[in-house]
């Protein structure tokens, strides 16, 4: 109950904070910082329910936020945002970020959700297609094509659809499949066709549907839940319908004999594929095929593949138009939940023609939001001049005065000359002259839309608050990084005199604990070990032992270490001077360890603790810097507004 009360209190307080959005929380050197900016970053950066609007939490974050604003203000006053490298980095980020915001996000999200819902269903369809007569159809072409498909619509029924498709459809495959495409799912056809197959009732024929190919009539036979995707392997024996009877019979006999071998266990599937399969592309990959949906497989292949119950199962021989297969199930993937599927669907939707829906919505929004006007007379004048230049094969505009405005976005003007320059750079150098007028109109539409999208990108901060905030955060972040690096991070590394001075003043903060110094001797054999240990027991030091034993050959070496008590105990030594132990090594050499002395606590040398000293020196420099900034830029906090944010 207490948690519920706290949660409700938080919601009320957040709502109250939103009512204070445009109130000034504090000013720095006369620059106002609004409540909404503070609350936004506070809630964004305090994850895991830490943004509880408690007094302590708000005060801690306010301190960080003020320091952040002071540093950014200093960077701006130093004109760091005019540095070329920083401007280039900001432009690069802006370009990348704009791609996520330039098109209507709400429409894009709706398209992704629509694609996900459709991905749950497969639709069995047939179609009849009447193609556009040319690449850029005129209005007359469109009317004639629509008239032709409407005439077919009057004749066709569900019962005779396949017969009419075979006779009249301009899809080349209709002669063989009678217009039957089988089960399809989302993102396997062009978007207008997909819309028709998902919105036409089962057992019905759609109204004429226009796509990039022409006009379609779509017949929906049936629907079924999506089977998901399956990865299969196959053993393949070629057998075409055009083969003679003897050849077809031999192929059937061969696949049946192979199947018997597999069932009896005389050979395993992988070995059988490598021995018998006639698919040269997959034979030496054990017949492995890509992961596919049923709509991406030959229907007869898909039906058998998806009937296999578990991974590793293989089918009886199955015939398709290209031959005989024995299919092995490798793995099956069911449809993912929306959270898992949305990222992949987003990428596929962006590449699909349906993304034009979001583009078109954005273009219309830009026109409405900023104002858009076209001068049809000036546009037709330049289109006619361009068409004439290509038709005369001069490929240049004779009238150099063609510089009238053809359209306007906001206050930005686009002239005939602008379009001529664009056309010369990007239009087909050898266009179809019979279609030149329609081609140039399509080219102009592309130009106009590209300029609308460019204009939108340049004014995204006026359209999207989210985009504006992200760009501001990145702008401030990069300035903060560059200036902090100069004033703190790199300075602490480069300023060796300052670092040494800081260390000398604070060396007692970097102390060794009590340590033992021990020596580790390696004697080449037992005889030299006995001599060396005897010398050490008489009080000789390491140098004297080395000098005595190494006169003729290298019999002994020594290294000295300083360690704390746990490390010494691990070596089998006691925490006292003189403690020692001896170990015989595999090659007959002798290892001898001896504690020379116990060292009192002492400061570490700078080189022994440089990383820690640099870190502390950076913190010191930052505190000094913040103090200087606070003195330089006066801060005024609106205490009443700040207190109103606190949840008691």
Enter the tokens of residue 578.
Answer: 């003189």
More confident residue, 26 or 553: 26
Angle at 458 between CA 454 and CA 464, to 5 degrees: 110
Digit-coded pLDDT (tens) for 534-560? 999 999 999 999 999 998 888 899 999
- Percent of the chain past pLDDT 70, that is, above it, reads 95
At 117 the pLDDT is 93
If pLDDT is split at 50, 70 and 90, which confidence band does 7 have? very low
pLDDT above 60: residue 150:
yes
Contacts of 199 (CB under 8 A, 6+ apart): 206
How much is the average pLDDT of 9-15?
Answer: 44
pTM for this model (two decimals): 0.64
How much is the average pLDDT of 82-108?
Answer: 87
Enter the tokens of residue 456.
Answer: 């939108």
pLDDT above 60: residue 395:
no
Task: Describe the chain by its helix, strand, coil percentages, rounded to 5.
Answer: 55, 20, 25
Digit-coded pLDDT (tens) for 489-505? 999 999 999 999 999 99
At 406 the pLDDT is 96
Digit-coded pLDDT (tens) for 376-386? 999 999 999 88
How much is the average pLDDT of 42-50?
Answer: 72
CA atoms within 13 A on the CB side of 181: 27
pLDDT above 60: residue 148:
yes
H helices of 207-354, in order, are 245-264, 269-276, 299-305, 338-351
pLDDT above 70: residue 201:
yes
At 241 the pLDDT is 82
At 48 the pLDDT is 56
At 346 the pLDDT is 83
At 54 the pLDDT is 87
- Distance CA(424)–CA(395), nearest Å, equals 8
If pLDDT is split at 50, 70 and 90, which confidence band does 397 have? low
Q: Calculate the average pLDDT of the chain.
A: 89
At 49 the pLDDT is 55
At 16 the pLDDT is 46
- Distance CA(30)–CA(277), nearest Å, equals 81
Digit-coded pLDDT (tens) for 275-289? 999 998 999 899 999
pLDDT above 80: residue 191:
yes
Q: What's the chain's Rg over C-alpha atoms?
A: 40
Digit-coded pLDDT (tens) for 311-339? 999 999 999 989 999 999 999 988 888 88
Digit-coded pLDDT (tens) for 586-631? 888 999 999 999 999 999 999 999 999 999 999 999 999 999 999 9
Question: In the 8-state DSSP scheme, what is residue 314?
Answer: B
pLDDT above 90: residue 164:
yes
Digit-coded pLDDT (tens) for 416-460? 999 999 988 888 777 777 788 888 998 999 999 999 999 999 999
How much is the average pLDDT of 77-81?
Answer: 93
pLDDT above 80: residue 20:
no
What string of DSSP letters covers 193-237?
HHHHHHHSPTT-BPPPEE-SSEEEEEEEEEEEE---EEEEEEEEE
Q: Residues 24, 32: contact at Cβ < 8 Å?
A: yes
**Can you give the three-state secondary structure of 494-539, one letter per residue?**
HCHHHHHHHHHHHHHHCEECCEEEEEEEEECCHHHHHHHHHHHHCC
pLDDT above 70: residue 10:
no
Grouping H, G, I as helix, E, B as strand and the rest as coil, residue 323 is strand
At 400 the pLDDT is 60
- Distance CA(273)–CA(231), nearest Å, equals 16
Q: Residues 145, 130: contact at Cβ < 8 Å?
A: yes
pLDDT above 50: residue 4:
no
Question: In the 8-state DSSP scheme, what is residue 487?
Answer: I
If pLDDT is split at 50, 70 and 90, which confidence band does 47 have? low
More confident residue, 139 or 117: 117
Q: Residues 420, 382: contact at Cβ < 8 Å?
A: yes
Cα dihedral 297, 300, 303, 304, rounded to 10, equals -110
At 9 the pLDDT is 43
pLDDT above 50: residue 8:
no
DSSP E strand stretches across 436-500: none
pLDDT above 90: residue 581:
yes
How much is the average pLDDT of 15-29?
Answer: 75
At 609 the pLDDT is 96
At 426 the pLDDT is 86
At 27 the pLDDT is 93
Digit-coded pLDDT (tens) for 232-263? 999 999 998 888 999 999 999 999 999 999 99
């Amino acid at each position: 109950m207490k948690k519920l009360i706290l949660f409700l209190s938080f919601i009320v307080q957040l709502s109250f904070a939103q009512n204070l959005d445009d109130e000034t929380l504090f000013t720095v050197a006369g620059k106002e910082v609004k409540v909404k900016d503070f609350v936004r970053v506070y809630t964004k950066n305090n994850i895991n329910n830490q943004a509880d609007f408690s007094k302590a939490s708000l005060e801690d974050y306010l301190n960080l936020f003020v320091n952040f604003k002071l540093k950014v203000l200093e960077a701006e006053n130093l004109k760091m945002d005019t540095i070329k490298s920083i401007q280039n980095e900001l432009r690069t980020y802006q370009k990348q970020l704009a791609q996520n915001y330039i098109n209507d996000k709400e429409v894009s999200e709706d398209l992704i959700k629509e694609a996900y819902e459709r991905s749950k269903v497969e639709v069995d369809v047939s179609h009849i297609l009447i193609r556009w007569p040319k690449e850029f159809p005129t209005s007359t072409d469109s009317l004639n094509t629509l008239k032709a498909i409407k005439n077919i619509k009057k004749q066709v029924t569900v019962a005779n659809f396949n017969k009419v498709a075979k006779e009249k459809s301009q899809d080349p495959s209709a002669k063989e499949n009678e217009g039957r495409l089988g089960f399809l799912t989302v993102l396997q056809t062009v978007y207008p066709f997909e819309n028709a197959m998902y919105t036409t009732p089962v057992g019905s024929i759609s109204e004429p549907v226009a796509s990039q190919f022409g006009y379609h009539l779509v017949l929906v036979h049936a629907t079924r839940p999506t089977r998901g995707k399956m990865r299969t392997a196959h053993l393949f024996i070629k057998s075409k319908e055009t083969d003679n009877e003897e050849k077809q019979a031999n192929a059937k006999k061969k696949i049946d004999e192979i199947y018997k071998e597999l069932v009896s266990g005389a050979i395993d599937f992988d070995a059988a594929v490598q021995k018998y399969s006639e698919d040269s592309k997959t034979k030496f990959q054990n017949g492995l095929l890509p992961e596919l949906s049923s709509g991406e497989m030959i229907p007869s292949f898909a039906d058998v593949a998806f009937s296999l119950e578990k991974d590793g199962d293989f089918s009886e021989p199955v015939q398709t138009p290209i031959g005989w297969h024995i299919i092995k199930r490798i793995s099956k993937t069911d449809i993912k939940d929306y959270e898992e599927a949305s990222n992949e669907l987003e990428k596929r939707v962006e590449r699909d023609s349906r993304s034009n829906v979001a583009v078109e919505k954005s273009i219309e929004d830009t026109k409405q939001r900023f104002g858009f006007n076209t001068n049809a007379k000036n546009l037709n004048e330049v289109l006619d001049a361009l068409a004439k230049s290509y038709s005369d094969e001069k490929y240049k505009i004779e009238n150099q005065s063609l510089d009238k405005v053809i359209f306007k976005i906001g206050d930005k003007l686009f002239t005939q000359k602008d379009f001529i320059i664009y056309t010369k750079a990007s239009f087909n150098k050898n266009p179809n002259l019979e279609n030149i007028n329609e081609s140039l109109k399509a080219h102009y539409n592309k130009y106009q839309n590209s300029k609308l999208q460019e204009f939108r990108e340049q004014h995204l901060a006026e359209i999207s608050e989210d985009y504006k905030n992200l760009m501001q955060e990145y702008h401030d972040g990069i300035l903060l990084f560059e200036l902090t690096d100069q004033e703190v991070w790199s300075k602490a590394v480069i300023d060796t005199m300052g670092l040494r001075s800081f260390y000398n003043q604070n060396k007692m903060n970097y102390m060794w604990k009590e340590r033992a110094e021990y020596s580790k001797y390696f004697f080449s054999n037992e005889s030299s070990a006995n001599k060396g240990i005897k010398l050490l027991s008489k009080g000789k030091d390491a140098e004297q032992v080395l000098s005595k034993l190494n006169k003729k050959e290298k019999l002994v070496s020594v290294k000295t270490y300083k360690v704390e008590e746990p490390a010494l105990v691990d070596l089998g030594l006691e925490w006292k001077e003189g403690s020692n132990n001896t170990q015989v090594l595999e090659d007959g050499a002798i290892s001898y360890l001896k504690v020379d002395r116990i060292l009192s606590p002492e400061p570490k040398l700078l080189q022994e603790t440089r990383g820690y000293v640099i870190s502390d020196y950076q913190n010191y420099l930052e505190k000094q810097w913040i103090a200087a900034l606070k003195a330089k830029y006066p801060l005024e906090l609106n205490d009443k507004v700040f207190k109103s944010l606190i949840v008691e």
